[in-house]
Structure 1
Amino acid sequence: MDTEVERAYRALLRTGQASPDELAGQCGYGTEQAEEVCRQLVELELANTSASGVLTPLSPAKAVEGLVAAAVRRLELRLQSEVHAGGIVDALIAERRAPSPVGHLGDGQSVQLTGMAAVRAAIDELTFFTWDESLTTNPTGVLSKESISHARPIDERVLRRGVRMRTVVGHAAREDPPTMAYLRELVGKGAAIRIARDPIERLIICDRAAALTPLDPAHTAKGAILTREPGLVAALVSLFERMWSSADPLCVPEGEPADEPEGTLTELERKILHSLCTADKDEVGAREVGIALRTYRKHVAALMRRLDASNRFQAALLARERGWL
């Protein structure tokens, strides 16, 4: 972190809490510098701020853990981008004696995968090469502990890269607390989740270029069909969009950002992004948008996750690059 931010955090640890003015007095900051340092303390999750603007430091263990996790995410994203650009995985796949159906499946081709081990291996490779959009469905709705354990690292890897993730799950999810907890966890990380009212088909579609469908919908463990045939993939994307349109957005606690596709903004989110370019304080931005300060900050944090931005200035720049502003 910035030296001045670290200095301010240490001062907060010594005092227990402080207002921006008090922090300015303790550290010798001017008003503008104190406000900027306080903003960074909150953005880096080193401190919480009350409605009156008083800052309280997070515990050192939690603060350092958050800084390390953020650094790891940035490093992982950079390394994954380098691997993708360098074609390292493709080169290694070419060395394998038993060719991967995913790595060597060209446009207009399909292959049958037998057994869950083969399907999961295919999903691992497909998601590794997914950089734009991931569309999935889960007709049963209920996710077992094992399924969540297997899915979490894959889902997190995809979301960290800024891939737009949309998922439709069966209505039984509403009655299963572990499933709902995991779905809300994904929404918090930037995924868009909807719950179907009617029966849905099982699909996994990556970058609208490859799709997986089960060999037997009633017994998915038997295996799947992996296809890159453009007409078939397009038909499956159309099927997904119909299921998505008829499903209900996942309910989130009051004040949390709503479930929306990664590349879609609500009018409120657009106003909040605009405020990041014009307002010098969260309080000013919240007043401009017309919402509570706490709600405003939750939306800002969610937008930063979706943009994979390390600070609000970067979030505004990335939003402009994506055409969100």
Structure 2
Amino acid sequence: MDDTDIPWSATGLDPLAGRVLEHLVAVRSADRDEVASAAGVSPSEAERALRHLTDAALASRIGGAVPRWAAAPPRPSLGALLARRRAELARVENLVERLSEAHEAVSSARATDMVEVLLSRDEVPARYRQLLRGSSSEVLHLAKPPYVTGAAASAETAAVTPGVRMRSVYELDGFTDAVSLRTALRGTGQGGKLRLTSQIPVKLAIFDRGAALMPIWGDRPSSGSVVVHSPALVTALVALFESVWERAEPVSLTKRHDLPEPEPEPERGLPASGRDLRTREILRMMAAGMKDETIARILAVSRRTVQQHISDAGSLLGARTRFQLAVLAGKRGWLSEQGDSMPQPLPAR
């Protein structure tokens, strides 16, 4: 049997004593020379191993002209040895705890207390849900692709405690999939605020400004995440979020039943206030760089409806291009949630 097959050191025996014991349990008894031959060592080395086994009560010496040794019954003898080793390890563990407490009492916070490393695919969504449920005042969220399917689905079903304010910024290129849209609708439906921007530096979630969750590698979110607890680092990440938030475009995900619009024809009979709000939404999204298909999906209307709103607004302002329309609408205050009222286009003939 190979020395590496059994960790004899865990019992307090060296590899040679372990080999000698394995030989003794397989024979009735053996003398020194027989043990040396079986173990492939010198007679003096075999004798030292036999004395070690005798002292540990794992073997006994049989008298005679030529001394012989026999193994003690392995289960009770080795069991007693292991019990003594476990007691010794328990005393060492207690010593380690006392030393650690003394060290922590005179040391500053350790790195392991400041950052948690999550490497399992299951750990990240589970920790996200835990942090989300534990939030009592505010959750800040920067979302960008690539998305982790499991984490996204978990985020979709995770509940936010009533009264917790949620602010989210989504990257435009990633705000076209169904999961992102449903998650954003869920957040805004609970009083959250949403903005869109062309580029987000890193995926990030900040909970009560006390902990932040972010990927270890920005381009490989499924390869692991970290939870940051360091007050200085969390403060810096909050500042990063606020800078992205300030530059992002506000979006109100008004649902279809809030501003009803018949499909596929664009509405003509809405009250001025309803049409005004819907056109403002579309113009803000257009100015932020969103495509007609994306705007239509977010607002749950047809692409034709979106294009009709844009065309009507362009006609009112005399804009020949979308760029001109965005500039002129901004000057009129139409891109803000509260601004100048918008005159209504003439009915179609």
TM-score per shorter chain, which class?
Answer: 0.3 to 0.5
User: RCO greater where, 1 or 2, for CA within 8 Å and sep 6 or more?
Assistant: 1
Answer with 1 or 2: which has the greater Rg.
2
Tell me the TM-score normalised to structure 2 length. Answer: 0.38
Tell me the TM-score normalised to structure 1 length. Answer: 0.41
